[in-house]
Amino acid sequence: MLGPTGKEEREFQQLVVRDNNYSSLANGTDFFIIDIEYAYPKDLVAVEWRSEGPKKKYPEKYLPNLFIIEMKYGDKSLKGKSGLKDHQRQFHHLLSNEPYLEQFKQEMIHLFDQKRELGLIPYLAKSENKNAVTKFDDEIQLAFLIANHDPARELFIKEMELLESLEVNFIVSNFMGYGICHQSVYSYAQFQQRFMRQIHEV
């Protein structure tokens, strides 16, 4: 059973899905949500298929990327079980399990194709865009989407410093919206450099 924070996090996840999959602005975003709370890992699974025409027209020349996006709502969700470090550990475990990883990729291709066939991502519906995606880029990326962190608290910066690897991304809201464009995705170093005041204002 979800507690208050879990319910709020689920509501925000649904906003991410709406803005990127079927809102009136979805065709201008670069990310589309394939699944929400996938069994393992329990995160949003998204495909980055950039909105520039040639890339959406020719997926065989530009392989879309798979992203595992973990939304963390409020500071309590940043630490401990299911916190930043724990999710990164699960992500590394996924990458190290090659048979499962390949199965996961194939399942995501199937789900993405199914959603397009059923028109659940209207701007990518097969009736509108007949270009098939039969393969994703080999590299899967992990990204954290942090909602409603309090910059006066140092918990976030402490949890960032505990991460075992800096090969992680952070997604920043697009002018208070949840449409995700590639310009909204920052590497660890870029995020820390540009948003330090929002991470922890001393």
Q: First-to-last CA distance in the chain?
A: 37
How many domains is the chain partitioned into structurally?
1
Rounded to the nearest integer, the mean pLDDT of the chain is 91
Instruction: Work out the pLDDT band at 197, boundaries 50, 70, 90.
Output: very high
Q: Which of 32-41, 121-130, 190-199 has the highest mean pLDDT?
A: 190-199
Q: What is the pLDDT of residues 56-105, one digit of tens each?
A: 888 878 899 999 999 999 999 999 988 999 999 999 999 999 999 999 99
pTM of the model: 0.92
Given a cut of 70, is residue 2 above it in pLDDT?
A: no
> Could you tell me the residue range of the domain that residue 158 belongs to?
4-199
Please give the pLDDT value at position 40. 65
